[in-house]
Structure 1
Amino acid sequence: MIEFVFRTDDVARVRFAFSPLWELVHGLRVLADPSRRALHLPWVHAVRPRLRGLDVGLLRGAVPATGYIPDFLTPPPETPLPDFGAELEIVRATPPEVVAEEMRWTERGNVAGPARLAMAAEPERSLEILCGQLERFWAAAVEPYWEGIRDLLEGDVLRRARALSTSGAEGVFADLHRAVRWEGGTLYVDRWWDHRGELAGRGLLLVPSVFVWPQVSVMVPPYQPMLSYPPYGVATLWESSPAAPPDALAALIGRRRAQLLLALGTPASTTELARRLDVTPGAISQHLGVLRASGLVTGHRLGRRVLYGRTRSGDALAGPGEPAESAGPAGPAGSAQGG
C-alpha cells in the first residue's frame, strides 16, 4: 500500500499536468500486451502498420508489458502543458549511473534479465539509442493522435481543478480511481509494494494518462511524488462516430447541435469536435456560438487553445444522471512502481 501523508500546505500544492512522454511509454506497454488494455485496440490496429520496419527493440526491452518501467523514462512533467521535445531532453540528461541503477532494479528481489543488464553495462550508449527510438516511436505512433489525446487530458485537468477549488482534496480524489482512497489527510493507493511518507511541502502531482488505463501509476521520492490515472471520458477517445442524440433533444435544439452537446460530455477543441462529427471547424464554431449564447456550453482557454465543455444547464439538457465525461476509470490498481 502507498500512503502519501498530507500536511495543510501539501493540499495547497496539489497540481495537475500531463505528459506526452508518459503517453508514449504507456502506449508501448499497450502494444506489448493489448489484451490487458482492450479499450485501445482501435489504436493498436491503426499503428501497427506504421511500426513495420521501425527499430524500437531496445525500447521494448526497457518497457515490459507489466512490471517496473525505469523511472528516468517517465520523468514527472515540469510544466502543466509540456512539450515532447522538452521532455525528451530531460531524459537525455539522465546521469549514466541513474540509467544503470534503474535498469538493474527489479521487483521483489528478482534478477534483471539479459537485455536490461546489457543496457546497464553501457548506460551512455543505451541512453542515446533509447532517446532515438523514443523520438521515432513518437512520430509514428503517438503524434498523429496527439490532438485528440491532448483534448481529453486537458479536459480532465479542467474538471479536477474545478473540483479542487470547490471541494478540496476530497473532491479531487473521491472518484479518481477505485485503487485510490482519501481518508483523514492521507491518500492511500492500493499497490503490491509499500511506501509511507509525508509529502513534506512537495505536494502531489496528478497526471491523467490515456494509456495508463485501466491502472494507476505512482512515483515516490526521490522523484516528485506523482499519481497518474485514467482521465474521464477515455472510452470515447477512439469512437469513430458519436452516438445519435435523443429525438426530443434533436427536435428542441437541432440534430447537429444535439450531437455536439452530447459530444461535449468531455471537453474538446473545435478541431477535435470537427473530426469527431465529420463537419467543418467553421460549422462547429457557429453551433458552439449558439450553444454558448444559450448558456449550455462554455469555453476554457489553455495557452493558445480553447476547450469547450458543457455547463450544468448543458449537462441537465443532455440527459439525466452523470454527465458523459464521467464514463472512464475502472479496473484494478497497477502493479509497477514506474508504470
Structure 2
Amino acid sequence: MIEFRFVVGDLARMSFAYSPLQEAVYSLRCWCDPARYPHQRPWLRRLAPVFQRQDTELLTALIAPRLWIPDFLTPRPERPRPVFARQLETLRATPPHVLEPEFTAAYGTGFDGLPQVLRDGLAGPDRLLDRICRALDGYWRDCLAPDWWPRAHTVLEADLAHRGKVLAEEGARGLFASLDPRLAWDGDVLTMTKKLDRNPWPAADIDIGGRGLVLIPTMFALGAHTNIDYALPPLLSYPARGRATISETPPPATDEALTRLLGAPRARILHLLRDPTSTTELAHLLNVTPGAVSQHLSVLYDAGLLTRTRSGRSVRYALSELGERLCG
C-alpha cells in the first residue's frame, strides 16, 4: 500500500499532464509482452518492420522482466503538454551515475542480473546515456511520430478534458475513483492498494509537501502506478480513458461523404486531379469559367489537399499526400 499525504494547498497544486517521452518508453512494454496490450496489436504488426531496424537490443533491455522501468527514463513533465524533443533534452541531462542504481532497482537484481547490453554499457554510463537517447529519438521519429502519436495524442487530450470535468463536478473523491478503483481518498491521504499481484509495491508514505502531484494518463498501463523511487517529485500515472480506441480504423471516405464535406464542385475537382491538371483544363472539363475554378483551387491548396507546379505559363495542380488519403 502506498499513501500520498496531502497538506493544506497540495490539492490546489495538483495538475494533469501527458508525456510523449513516457509514452515512447512505456510503448516498449508492448514489444516485450504484447499480450498485455491487445488494443495495440494492430499497431505492433504495422510497425514491426520499422521497429526491427531500430536499436532493439538496447530498447527492449530498458524494460525489466516485470515491466518496471528506470525512473530516469520517464521524468515528471514540467508542463501539461510537453514536446518530445524538449523532454529528450531533459533525459540527456541525467547525471550518468544514476543509471546503474536505477536499472538494478527496476530489474530487482544486482548488477550481474542485468542484460549484457546494459552491463557493457554501464562501464561508460555517459556513452550509454547517449546511446539510449539516440535510440529513443530514432524510435520516436520512425515508429511513433508519423501515425501512432497523432492518434494517441487525441486520446490523451480527450482524457485531460474528461478528468477536468469530473474534478469540477464530483470533486477530488470522484476524480480519484475515476482513475483507478484501487485509489481511495479520505480528504487528506490518497491510498493506492495493489492486491493479488506477483510484484507488489513496497509500502510507503509519500509526503506531497508542496511539490504538487502530477496526474499522467498513459496508453500503456493496466492500473495506476508511481515512481520506483518514492523520493522523486510525486506523480501518478493511470490508464487513459478511451485507450482501446487507438486501433479503431476510421471508415473509408466515400464520394457521398466527400461531397458533404467539401461541396460537389470541390469534391469533383479533387477526383479530377488524380492526374496533374491546369486551371484551364479543369474549367473546360467542368464547363465553368477559369475564375470559378481558381477560387476552388485556392481553398483546396490552402487546406493542404493540393500541390502545384509551374509548367511554362500555366500552373498544374495535383493531389497532395493528404488529398490522396482523403480521396481514398
TM-score, normalization by structure 2: 0.70
Is contact 2:2-2:193 (8 Å) kept? yes
Query: Per-residue CA shift, 1:190-223, capped at 9, x if unaligned?
Result: 24122112211112100001122x2333125432
Question: 2:214·2:235 contact (CA, 8 Å) conserved in 1?
Answer: yes
In structure 1, list runs of 5 or more residues that go unmatched.
243-273, 285-339
Q: Give the counterpart of 1:215 among 216, 219, 223.
A: 223
For 1:138, give the aligned amino acid. W
Say if 1:280 and 1:48 are closer, same or farther in 2 by CA, change over 3 A: farther
The alignment's C-alpha RMSD in Å is 2.6
Counterpart residue identity of residue 283, structure 1: L
- Is the partner of 1:237 in helix, strand or coil? helix
Matches for 1:86-105 after TM superposition, within 5 Å: 86-105=86-105
Write out aligned runs for 1:19-98 (5 A): 19-98=19-98
In the alignment, the residues of structure 2 paired with residue 106 and residue 195 of structure 1 have an alpha-carbon distance, to the nearest angstrom, of 17
AA aligned to 2:232 is Y
Deviation (angstroms), 1:66? 2.4
- What is aligned with 1:16? 16
Could you tell me whether the CA contact under 8 Å between 2:155 and 2:240 is conserved in 1?
A: yes
Question: What one-letter code is carried by the residue in structure 2 that aligns with 1:9?
Answer: G
Tell me, what secondary structure is at the counterpart of 1:228?
strand
Letter paired with 2:192: V
Distance 2:52 2:260 in 1: 37
Does the 8 A contact of 1:103 with 1:117 survive in 2?
no
* Matched letter for residue 222 of structure 1: A
Letter in 1 for 2:101: E
Written as runs of structure 1 = structure 2, the 5 A alignment for 1:294-313 is none
Q: Which residue, out of 240, 248, 260, partners 1:239?
A: 248
Q: CA deviation at 1:181?
A: 2.1
Partner of 1:156: 159
Secondary structure of the corresponding residue to residue 152 of structure 2: helix
Q: Which has the larger radius of gyration?
A: 2
* Further displaced range: 21-30 or 45-54: 45-54
Q: Answer whether contact 2:29 2:67 (CA < 8 A) is retained.
A: no
Q: 1:140 to 1:184 in 2, by over 3 A?
A: same
Match for residue 308 of structure 1? none
Within 2, Cα distance between the matches of 1:32 and 1:46? 16
Taking the aligned partners of 2:120 and 2:166, their CA distance within structure 1 comes to 46
* C-alpha distance in structure 1 between counterparts of 2:212 and 2:260, whole Å: 42
Equivalent residues of 1:4, 1:187 under 8 A apart: yes
- Secondary structure of residue in 1 paired with 2:3: strand
**Which residue pairs with 2:193 in the alignment?**
190
Q: Which amino acid aligns with 1:23?
A: E
Counterparts of 1:248-259 in structure 2 under 5 Å? none
Quick check: 2:156–2:217 contact (8 Å CA) kept in 1?
A: yes
Which sections of structure 2, spanning at least 5 residues, go unmatched? 195-199, 263-328
On the 8 A contact 1:100/1:119 being kept in 2, the answer is no
Give the distance between the partners of 2:82 and 2:2, measured in 1 at CA: 27
The structure-2 alpha-carbon separation of the partners of 1:31 and 1:109, relative to structure 1 and needing over 3 Å to count, comes to: closer
Query: Structure 1 stretch 221-230 or stretch 90-99: which is displaced more?
Result: 221-230
| SS of 2:9 mapped into structure 1 | helix
Whether the aligned pair in 2 keeps the contact of 1:63 and 1:69 (CA below 8 Å) is yes
| C-alpha distance in structure 1 between counterparts of 2:62 and 2:45, whole Å | 23
Q: How far apart are residue 8 of structure 1 and its match? A: 2.9
1:56-115 deviation digits (Å, cap 9, x = unpaired): 321211223524311111111111110000000000000111123212335656553243
Q: 1:101 & 1:63 partners in 2: Cα distance?
A: 15
- Residue 224 (str. 1) matches residue 233 (str. 2): yes
Does residue 176 of structure 2 align to residue 173 of structure 1?
Answer: yes
2:26 is matched by which residue type in structure 1?
H
Q: Could you say which residue in structure 2 is the equivalent of 1:133?
A: 135
Residues 101, 184 of structure 1: CA spacing in aligned structure 2 closer, same or farther, 3 A cutoff?
Answer: same
Please show how residues 277-292 of structure 1 align to structure 2 within 5 Å. Answer: 283=261
Query: Is the contact between residue 18 and residue 208 of structure 1 (CA under 8 Å) also seen in structure 2?
Result: yes
Change (3 A) 1:187 1:282: farther
The alignment partner of 1:229 has SS state of strand
- Would you say the 8 A contact 1:152–1:231 is kept in 2? yes
**How far apart are the structure 1 equivalents of 2:259 and 2:66?**
40
SS of structure 1 residue aligned to 2:226? strand
